[in-house]
Amino acid sequence: MFLDKLDNVEKRYLELERLLSSSEIISDRAQFTKFSKELSEVKPVVDKYRDYQSILRATKETEAMLGEKDMQELAKDELKDLEAKKTTLFQELETLLAPKDPFDEKNIIMEIRAGTGGEEAALFAGELLRMYLRYAERRGWKTEMLDVNATGLGGYKEAIFGIIGKGAYSKLKYESGAHRVQRVPKTETSGRIHTSAATVAVMPEAEDVDVNINENDLKFEAFRAGGAGGQNVNKVSSAVRITHIPSGVVVECREERSQLQNREKAMKLLRAKMLQTAEEKERNKRDSSRKIMVGTGDRSEKIRTYNFPQSRVTDHRIGFTIYQLNNFLDGNLDELIDALSTADRAAKLAHMA
């Protein structure tokens, strides 16, 4: 089944080569551009498939050598190398052929909100914020704060921020959901372990072409920012609130001193929320009869537990555990992100089959 699909991709590649060499297509700029783009997309798959076919032929030829006594040992060693190459190529082909998420290369906007647990939940939300900022820093990505609601003890009731970097969504899209922490809070005198939670939402940053918002459907309000901000705070109405009237979605931004800058950031957040809503509707339609093992799901889904007494981080979707909690909270997320990505790809390939 999988190899049949690869055969079809190669046939399409040959057909595209033929089409792009015809005078009719060459003279039609739109069609030429369309077919050229498709050819560039399938070429990596075809190149890898041809390498795989070459390995299969070499394996067959080497197996024939096993009947020759003076060549047996050499043939066995060669077969081991060929088998390893074949396995690697097959895995690479699976990756190339797995359905692509159209938003994988996009920047993202993340929302972290304190859940159950009062001040302890707010402190945990702050630790998650630092974790993602450190991860972005390690990858050389830029970050920008859009809106925060800090507490007096250094926690956050809410933090909304952007991460700007190629492939940010592909790496962090699995973080959406409820994150649970188990530890003895600083405010706890009896030493009892408490369970608190914070929720995370990850949204691809949307361009104007991704979502259509009618300006007439928007209500703009300016208000005075609170919290840190020096002379500007509570004297100038620089903070901005935008309401999308048809859907009831409300966004705010107060991090900049300029009302114009806050308005631009609020619109960026609104577009992301509108795109997320539209995508969730489409996903529910597509996935009504199935459920991918690793989703980019809603906030209510408990996805992960951070257990401080055991220095343990467990992702419940794939049963993956890391016993280096402090290292993880310092932004070293790649091991778990890679495991989630692998599980998701395997689930998608299984569905294809």
User: Is the per-residue pLDDT at 353 higher than 60?
Assistant: no
At which of 67, 97, 127 does a domain end? 97
102 located within any domain: no
Cα torsion at 99, 179, 252, 204 (round to 10°)? -10
- The string of pLDDT tens digits covering residues 148-161 is 889 888 899 999 99
Do 195 and 309 reside in the same domain of the chain? yes
pLDDT, residue 292, reads: 41
H or E segment to which residue 118 belongs: helix 118-138
Average pLDDT over residues 304-315: 96
> In terms of domains, do 44 and 153 share one?
no
pLDDT tens per residue, range 86-108? 999 998 888 788 777 788 889 99
The answer as to whether 103 is a domain residue is: no
Asked whether residue 326 falls in the same domain as residue 196, the answer is yes
Tell me, what's the pLDDT at 105? Answer: 87
Average pLDDT score over residue span 303-328: 96
pLDDT (tens digit, 9 = 90+) per residue, 247-272? 888 998 888 888 888 888 888 889 88
Average pLDDT of span 293-307: 69
In our burial notation (b when 16+ CB lie closer than 10 A, e otherwise), range 196-220 reads bbbbbbbbbbbeeebbebeeeeeee
Which 8-state DSSP code applies to residue 231? G
Nearest to 255 by CA among 238, 274, 277: 238
**Maximum mean pLDDT: which of 89-93, 164-168, 279-283:** 164-168
Residue 59 lies in a domain: yes
pLDDT for the residue 300: 63
Q: Is 184 contained in some domain?
A: yes
Q: Are residues 195 and 120 in the same domain?
A: yes
Q: What is the CATH number of the domain that holds 190?
A: 3.30.70.1660
- Together in a domain, 191 and 225: no
Phi, psi torsion values for 207, nearest 5 degrees: -95, 170
Neighbours of 58 (CB within 10 A): 16
Structure tokens at 321: 């555990």
Q: Which residues pair with 204 in a beta bridge?
A: 108
**Of 246, 267, 284, which residue is a domain's last?**
284
Closest among 314, 320, 311 to 342, alpha carbons compared: 320
Q: Do 316 and 176 belong together in one domain?
A: yes
Examine the pLDDT at 189 and tell me if it is beyond 70: no
How far apart CA 112 and CA 147 sit, in angstroms, is: 11
- Residue 257 counted as domain residue: yes
Q: Does residue 309 belong to any structural domain of this protein?
A: yes
Does residue 317 share a domain with residue 196? yes
pLDDT higher than threshold 70 for residue 222: yes
Give me the amino acid identity at 104. D
Q: Is residue 287 pLDDT above 60, yes or no?
A: no
Q: Is the pLDDT of residue 209 over 80?
A: no
Q: DSSP for 21-35? A: TSHHHHT-HHHHHHH
DSSP 101: P
Q: Which residues make Cβ contacts (< 8 Å) with residue 213, sequence separation at least 6?
A: 244, 270, 271, 274
The domain boundary residue, chosen from 284, 307, 335: 284
108-149: per-residue pLDDT in tens?
999 999 998 889 999 999 999 999 999 999 999 999 998 888
- Same structural domain, 279 and 297: no
> Domain check: are 201 and 300 in the same one?
yes
User: Is residue 223 over pLDDT 60?
Assistant: yes
Q: For residues 273 and 139, which has the higher predicted lDDT (pLDDT)?
A: 139
Residues 204, 317, single domain; the answer is yes
Dihedral sign from CA coordinates of 92, 95, 97, 100: negative
Residues 141 and 87 in one domain: no
Q: Residue 251, SS3?
A: strand
Res 175 pLDDT > 90 = yes
* Residue 348 structural domain: 108-209+291-352
Top-confidence residue, 13 or 291: 13
Residue 141 lies in a domain: yes
The two three-digit tokens of residue 156, written as one number = 């956050």
Taking CA atoms, 221 is separated from 46, 152, 217, in Å, by 54, 27, 13
CATH number at residue 222: 3.30.160.20
Domains identified in the chain, total number: 3
Residue 134: inside a domain? yes
Give the H/E segment covering residue 315. Answer: strand 312-315
- Give residue 283's pLDDT band: very low, low, confident or very high (50, 70, 90): low
- Specify whether 57 is located in the same domain as 78: yes
Structure tokens at 28: 């039609």
The average pLDDT across 217-242 equals 70
Flag whether pLDDT at 230 surpasses 50.
Answer: no
Q: Chain-wide mean pLDDT for the chain?
A: 86
The confidence score (pLDDT) of residue 117 equals 86
Contact 314, 305 (CB under 8 A): yes
* pLDDT value of residue 296: 47
